[in-house]
Chain A
Amino acid sequence: MASTKDIQRRIKSVGNTQKITRAMEMVSAAKMRKAVVSVLAIRPYAHAAWGVLTNLSRAFAEYKTGLLEVREVKRVLAIAVTSNRGLCGAFNSQIAKKIREEILHPESLKINRVGKEKIESTQENVEIDFITIGKKGENVVRRTGKNIVASFNDLSYLPKAEDVRVVGKMVIDDYLAKKYDKVVIFYTDYVSAMSQQAKVRQLLPISKIDLEKQIAEMDVLAKEYGLKDIHSEYKVEPTPEIVLEHIFPRLIEMQIYHAILESNASKESSRMLAMRNATDAAGEMKDSLTFVFNQIRQGKITQEIAEISAGRAALEN
């Protein structure tokens, strides 16, 4: 049996671990609240951007080039949003699983959807390149042997829209240069504090119906909007086409930014949960160790009393 000293040492170390996990839980809780607030802060922008698009819908419908051009899928660029550090429960492994699934069965990656239209690829295999955000995703992708074209590991937990602009620019430039025929993003959707979902979403080519759906998710009010007919004739300067060309990159950036914020909120909440479980487990462990410690101590005392009274009995006789 372990000595009381050893057990005491273990109780202490488990207690220290518990303190750390509890602190991490509280930090994550605070960060999660901030992340959720910033997810909500994007809503007015999404809503207003949607309003402008609605009013440009006529030009939008005729626009078929550039970022709206639909090509047969040969090469795909995927953005993978993960965390830099571990200790956040199933957050990274969920995304990793999703990435591996899509690489093994790229059926849906092969299809370029534009609203209800689908353009299926005749290619046997599609090539997939990755942009990774977060070290964990980088490791996962590297293990699958896929090519990583860029890796962003230094985003803070509350990134600015400007930090994300680089990613957007890269994606747009490569798409316009016809280097890739489709761009998707892997991220974790924050459903609630208890549940998060790994998702894949098409960023490019821009499809009207998908965009509508995505903005509706960001902005509760947009659901009732949709692309309605315009009620008033707008004066558009310089031309509707040029304004659209300005808006599209912003929308792509906004989507990437939104995906990162969602992922961050998910990351913090799953870390919070993991740390809460760890704190609870440490508490249980401490209890059971204390129990064993008390048993040994009591055993020792009982033994000593028995020895003393045995000695006394021997003297009396």
Chain B
Amino acid sequence: MIKFKIITPERTVFEAEVTQVTLPVTEGEVTILANHRPYIASLTPGEIVLKTKKADGEEEMDLVVSGGFIEFNENKLTVLADTAERAEEIDLKRAEEARTRAEELKKNCIEMDESEYARVAAAIQKESARIRVAKKHYTRSGMKIN
């Protein structure tokens, strides 16, 4: 079992014992199981998938992060996120609006400098991850998506 904890400067978003964690690191995607070697990495905007063993099989849970870093040691995984949300906290409609806004920004600003472009691109990446996670959550809990 891994002791998983995700924190932002504002609050501790989520804390639980899980069997498996998949994280969006800068080098790609990493899945951490128990007894992984000590590990530190930077995160990119994306989704974190947690798996927990239940009596009736496995349960999955999704979180969205907008970047940060992680530390894993002695089966304790700490995610220091800039911002983080649980799937059920995401407002799908507003996430979609935010992505549209960001994409428009990207289209309109042709003469953006490099850092500005990176910022917008990161925003798009983050909003897409939020939408993905929210949709997954809704379908799983049997809600209809318009």
Contacts and interface: CB of A to CB of B under 8 A. Distances in A.
B82 interface: yes
Given A48-B80, A51-B71, A161-B82, A234 B7 contact: no
A52 interface: yes
B22 interface: no
Contacts of B39: 234-237
Contacts of B82: 161-162, 165, 250
Interface string B17-45: 00000000111001000000111111000
Nearest to A230: B38
Given A38-B10, A44-B12, A257-B9, A232 B69 contact: no
B27 A238 contact: yes
B33 to A, nearest CB: 15
Interface string A65-89: 0000000000000000000000000
Nearest to B78: A48
Nearest to B79: A48
Contacts of B71: 48, 51-52, 55
A234 B69 contact: no
A246 B7 contact: no
Contact of B80 (A160, A235, A250, A257): A250
Nearest to A52: B71
A195 B5 CA distance: 35
B73 interface: yes
Contacts of B69: 52, 243, 246-247
Contact of B8 (A52, A161, A235): A161
Given A41-B11, A49-B80, A161-B10, A237 B41 contact: yes
Contacts of B83: 161-162
Contacts of A148: none
Majority SS of interface residues in chain B? Answer: strand
Contact of A45 (B7, B27, B38): B7
Contact-residue bracket for chain A: 20 to 34
A42 interface: yes
Contacts of B11: 41
Given A45-B80, A48-B71, A234-B73, A243 B40 contact: yes
B78 A51 contact: yes
20 contacts: A41-B12, A42-B10, A48-B80, A55-B73, A161-B9, A161-B10, A161-B82, A234-B39, A237-B25, A237-B27, A237-B39, A237-B40, A237-B41, A238-B26, A238-B41, A240-B40, A243-B42, A250-B68, A253-B9, A254-B9
Interface of B: 5, 7-12, 25-27, 30, 37-42, 68-69, 71, 73-74, 78, 80, 82-83
Interface of A: 38, 41-42, 44-45, 48-49, 51-52, 55-56, 160-162, 165, 232-238, 240, 242-243, 246-247, 250, 253-254, 257
